Amino acid sequence: MPEKHRYKFCFGPWNISEGQDPYGPPVRPPRAFEWKLAQLKKLGFDAMMFHDDDAVPDLDSKSESQIRKETKELRKKLDGEGIAAEMVAPRLWFAPQTVDGAYTSNDAKHRQYAIKRSLRSIDIANILGTDILVLWLAREGSYIRESKNARRCVDYLVNAFDKMLTHDKNIRLAIEPKPNEPMDHAYLPTIGHALAVAQLTRDPKRVGCLIESAHAILAGLDPADEIDFAMAFYKLWSLHLNDQNGLKFDQDKPFGSNNLRAAFNQVRALERNGYGQRGEYVCFDVHPFRTTKVEHWLAHLDNSRRTFLKLVEKARSFNEMKAQQLIADRNYQDLDQMVIEHLMGK
Ligand code: XLS
Ligand code: MG
């Protein structure tokens, strides 16, 4: 492949998961963080993503100085391995204080908890050497519409984002929208919502987004169009590639596993917008199938990257001239077939 542009890859410790689902227990034994880091290194990935409590386990029970100390130790470990921290994300959906939402909880004390924890995540990000705070707004939405005031919740979200932007003048917030699950309806379900709310904050240029393929599909959208949209604003700062078979539970399948053509179009959108050339990483937010044996535990990560790289080749070898001729002739019938045959490698 012509070395046009080399992508950098990453995943998170949660992507080497144990297979638990709401209907059954884990099927693979839990492994320590050190083991996961060693696997990441072995696979030749460049960076790791972190939830705040991936970086510092049980952080709610620790003092600020203890958290700082442990984060510094982690930084040293990562530096020693030559692995970067791509982002930090406050895990705001696990704590008892976030049962009814985090920034949009009806309880003021709980909203404070969420903000405080986010500011602490920014401090962790600083020590780990990343300026990206990812916000997957898992519980910002409602099960019962009448239980919350959605208009007020927009104000709560903006207030929380403003506190983060004030806390650190360099931090960039990457909102990761998802339309549902765990909530019935989320307040920021799409990239359009994320970028619109950015405009209400005190520093819109530091509020951007992260696209996860499966989340876009769950919103009934095409992830490739979401990529083009976000990149028209220069606001796609991180990316969770994976796949999803229609409107069902969040599957986090390997990239391209369900719809190869949609994956091809995501790669084309990334290529035409120069994703990665400003230091952005390609992250795979994928999980092993529950049936995966321990000895095949990393295949979904390696396979996702292989598919991605093959699709980069496909995007770069696509006959653009021929495609333009077909477009000029409005011969979308043959354009359609041309894409299919290109992907099949006829
Ligand atoms: C879950 C989200 C989560 C975020 C990081 O669906 O994808 O993993 O990416 O907080
Ligand atoms: Mg994700």
Q: Note the residue count of the chain.
A: 346
Neighbours of ion ligand 2 (CB under 5 A): 212, 240, 285
List pLDDT tens digits, range 276-300. Answer: 999 999 999 999 999 999 999 999 9
Q: Is 139 in the pocket of ligand 1 (CB under 6 A)?
A: no
State the CB neighbour count (10 A cutoff) for residue 134.
27
Q: Is 285 in the pocket of ligand 1 (CB under 6 A)?
A: yes
Closest listed ligand to the CA of 211: 2
> On the CB side of 320, how many CA atoms lie within 13 Å of its CA?
5
Taking the CA of residue 240 as reference, the ligand 1 atom at the shortest distance is 9
Ligand 2 mean position to 282 CA, how many Å?
12
Q: Is 53 in the pocket of ligand 1 (CB under 6 A)?
A: no
Taking the CA of residue 49 as reference, the ligand 1 atom at the shortest distance is 5
Q: Whose CA is nearest to atom 8 of ligand 1?
A: 285
Q: Is 136 in the pocket of ligand 1 (CB under 6 A)?
A: yes
Which of 134, 212, 252 has the most ligand 1 atoms within 8 A of CB, as the residue to mutate?
A: 212
Position 37 scores a pLDDT of: 98
Position 24 scores a pLDDT of: 97
Ligand 2 mean position to 212 CA, how many Å?
5
Residue-range domains of the chain with CATH: 9-317 (3.20.20.150)
Report the Cα–Cα distance between both ends of the chain, in Å, rounded: 19
Pick out the chain residues at pLDDT < 50: 1-2
Taking the CA of residue 215 as reference, the ligand 1 atom at the shortest distance is 6
What whole-number distance in Å separates Cα of residue 340 and Cα of residue 262? 11
281's CB contacts (< 8 A; 6+ apart) are 7, 8, 9, 10, 46, 47, 86, 238, 239
Q: Whose CA is nearest to atom 5 of ligand 1?
A: 136
Ligand 1 mean position to 333 CA, how many Å?
38
Dihedral sign, CA of 250, 252, 257, 262? Answer: positive
Taking the CA of residue 252 as reference, the ligand 1 atom at the shortest distance is 6
Residue in 20, 56, 95, 73 with CA at minimum distance from that of residue 287: 20
Q: Whose CA is nearest to atom 3 of ligand 1?
A: 136
Ligand 1 mean position to 5 CA, how many Å?
27
Q: Is 235 in the pocket of ligand 1 (CB under 6 A)?
A: no
Ligand 2 mean position to 285 CA, how many Å?
5
CA 140 to chain CA centroid, nearest Å: 17
Ligand 1 mean position to 302 CA, how many Å?
19
List pLDDT tens digits, range 141-174. Answer: 999 999 999 999 999 999 999 999 999 999 999 9
What long-range pairs does 217-223 form, CB within 8 A, spacing at least 24? 217/243, 217/244, 217/246, 217/262, 218/178, 218/179, 218/180, 218/181, 218/244, 218/247, 218/250, 219/177, 219/178, 219/179, 219/189, 219/190, 220/247, 221/190, 222/262, 222/265, 223/262, 223/266
Residues taking part in catalysis: 51, 54
CA dist 22 → 26, 153, 248 (Å): 10, 29, 14
Q: Is 187 in the pocket of ligand 1 (CB under 6 A)?
A: no
Q: What is the pTM of this model?
A: 0.97
Look up residue 235 and give its two tokens.
């606001």
Taking the CA of residue 12 as reference, the ligand 1 atom at the shortest distance is 8
What whole-number distance in Å separates Cα of residue 29 and Cα of residue 87? 26
Place of tokens 């020693």: 80
Position 2 scores a pLDDT of: 45
Ligand 2 mean position to 172 CA, how many Å?
17
